[in-house]
């Protein structure tokens, strides 16, 4: 890790706080790390670093992104994900001469007790303290997750094992009373100045380098947006366009357009948005012809931004064809995830605003993912397309399709897969554009 990097300095500060307050304290079993939402990437990086040979802490971290559905199935899901990751790392583990017998945890009833036994067994094989760092992709019910942690503490987390969970400052969900578990809980908060680190990072290097200049402009645009200063945002947006145009780099020039337009989405009536998107798309297509590798994904993104802009202006008859165009283009370029996301967006918009086209678009989305592997299906938005197409096939007595989907999803999610997918979709965060634009429909 480059310790001169401003972000690396923040990670170092977290490491130092951890060593001071958590390490070499065997009684501690649950570490609740308090962060601001915008700091999540820094803490993910901290956890990933500590799971490698480059970590500084005496503990070994194993980070799990397993989604929390309910307290009865979470331990089961964690064990399955843990063993899947362990199996993928066979070659590395063999080189490290690490001996752990995973077989006892592959069979039988996967319970909280078995999870604790597995953690204790793994820690014993490590001969070092172990931290199970939980960063769930999704939490269906925060109180249930809190209850799950309390239950593990009551059962007894093995010696040398700690569980870490991230909570948000000002919106704390996982506070557990110390007097219920004396000496077993640590609440860790490390004040870090992320905006200053980002500003330093943006300004590093040759100030005349167009990439450095663009980073500075984007940072200043973000600061202007935070202050709701449209005039200042335009000033730095224009500077971003000017410096990247002078570079002659089509990918960089197109990137400046999409970033500038994306930030203006917060002011959705800004007349420059469609102009920036149209011009940026032309530049990205020119870059594709010149074999600039950065331009292909940019073309896909521009179609998506144009569709989203039409949607938030309630021009649904324009938005739907643009999502379809995005999906078809992404398919042609073998960008499977982008294609499926666009098909899903198009289908959902049709369902609500143009029902006559819904099943045709849904079917195209279904066919686009029909050759995906089980891992690709479970990790993508395709599960929602399959769920919706199942209903369509069932209503139209397409028995073969119904059976195929039922077998596939049952294999991945169990007999109750329809209810599980419905619940996951109900609780999932809305799909956002790459710049994490929010409140677009206000």
For residue 68, what is the DSSP state? B
Residue 27 CB partners (closer than 8 Å, separation 6+)? 183, 184
The per-residue pLDDT for 250 is: 94
> What pLDDT does 32 receive?
94
Identify the sign of the CA torsion 30, 36, 41, 42.
negative
Instruction: Using pLDDT thresholds of 50, 70 and 90, give the confidence band for residue 436.
Output: very low
| pLDDT above 90: percentage of residues in the chain | 53
Q: Residue 442: which pLDDT band, with cuts at 50, 70 and 90?
A: very low
Per-residue pLDDT of 63-116, as tens digits, reads 998 888 888 889 998 998 899 888 887 655 655 567 888 888 887 666 899 999
DSSP conformational letter for 439: -
pTM exceeding the 0.75 threshold for the entire prediction:
no
**Residue 30 φ then ψ, to 5°:** -130, 120
The pLDDT of residue 10: 85
What was the pLDDT predicted at 288? 93
- CB-facing half-sphere around the CA of 145: CA atoms within 13 A: 23
Are the C-beta atoms of 75 and 115 separated by less than 8 Å? yes
**Of 99 and 324, which is predicted with more confidence?**
324
Q: What is the pLDDT of residues 377-387, one digit of tens each?
A: 877 889 999 99
Query: Comparing C-alpha atoms, which of 310, 309, 345, 313 is closest to residue 327?
Result: 345
∠ Cα 73 136 377 (to 5°):
75
Using one digit for the tens of pLDDT, what is the confidence trace for 341-352? 999 999 999 999
> In this structure, what token pair is assigned to residue 136?
């769930």
Question: Average pLDDT of 150-168?
Answer: 94
Q: What is the chain's mean pLDDT, rounded?
A: 86
Tens of pLDDT, residue by residue over 230-251, are 999 999 999 999 999 998 899 9
277-306 confidence digits (pLDDT tens):
999 999 999 999 999 988 999 999 999 999
pLDDT for position 114: 92
Please give the pLDDT value at position 198.
63
Q: Of residues 402 and 11, which shows the higher confidence score?
A: 402
């Amino acid at each position: 890790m480059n310790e001169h990097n401003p972000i690396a300095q923040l990670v170092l500060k977290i490491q130092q706080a951890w060593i001071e307050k958590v390490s070499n304290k065997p009684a501690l079993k649950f570490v609740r790390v308090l962060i601001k939402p915008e700091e999540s990437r820094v803490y993910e990086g901290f956890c990933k670093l500590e799971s490698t040979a480059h970590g500084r802490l005496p503990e070994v971290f194993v980070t799990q992104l397993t989604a929390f559905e309910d307290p009865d199935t979470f331990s089961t899901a964690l064990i399955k994900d843990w063993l899947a990751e362990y199996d993928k790392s066979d070659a590395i583990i063999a080189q490290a001469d690490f001996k752990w017998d995973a077989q006892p945890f592959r069979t039988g009833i996967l319970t909280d007790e078995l999870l604790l036994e597995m953690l204790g067994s793994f820690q014993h094989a490590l001969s070092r303290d172990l931290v199970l760092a939980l960063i769930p992709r999704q939490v269906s019910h925060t109180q249930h997750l809190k209850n799950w942690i309390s239950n593990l503490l009551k059962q007894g987390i093995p010696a040398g094992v700690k569980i870490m969970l991230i909570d948000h400052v000002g919106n704390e969900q996982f506070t557990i009373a110390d007097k219920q578990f004396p000496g077993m809980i640590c609440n860790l908060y490390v004040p870090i100045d992320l905006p200053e680190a980002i500003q330093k990072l943006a300004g590093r290097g040759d100030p005349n380098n167009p990439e450095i200049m663009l980073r500075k402009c984007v940072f200043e645009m973000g600061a202007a947006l935070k202050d709701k200063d449209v005039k200042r945002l335009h000033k730095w947006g224009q500077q971003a366009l000017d410096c990247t145009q002078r570079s002659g780099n089509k990918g960089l020039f197109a990137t400046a357009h999409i970033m500038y337009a994306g930030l203006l989405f917060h002011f959705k009536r800004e007349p420059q948005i469609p102009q920036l998107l149209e011009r940026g798309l032309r530049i990205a297509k020119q870059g594709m012809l010149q074999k600039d590798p950065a331009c292909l994904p940019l073309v896909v993104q521009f179609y998506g931004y144009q569709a989203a802009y039409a949607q938030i202006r309630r021009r649904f008859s324009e938005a739907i064809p643009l999502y379809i165009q995005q999906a078809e283009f992404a398919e042609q370029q073998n960008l499977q995830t982008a294609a499926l996301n666009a098909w899903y967006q198009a289908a959902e918009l049709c369902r609500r605003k143009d029902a006559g086209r819904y099943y045709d678009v849904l079917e195209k989305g279904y066919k686009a993912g029909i050759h995906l592997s089980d891992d690709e299906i479970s990790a993508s938005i395709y599960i929602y397309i399959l769920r919706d197409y199942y209903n369509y096939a069932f209503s139209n007595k397409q028995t073969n399709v119904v059976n195929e989907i039922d077998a596939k999803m049952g294999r991945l999610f169990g007999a109750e897969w329809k209810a599980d997918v419905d619940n996951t979709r109900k609780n999932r965060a809305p799909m956002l554009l790459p710049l994490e634009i929010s409140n677009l429909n206000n």
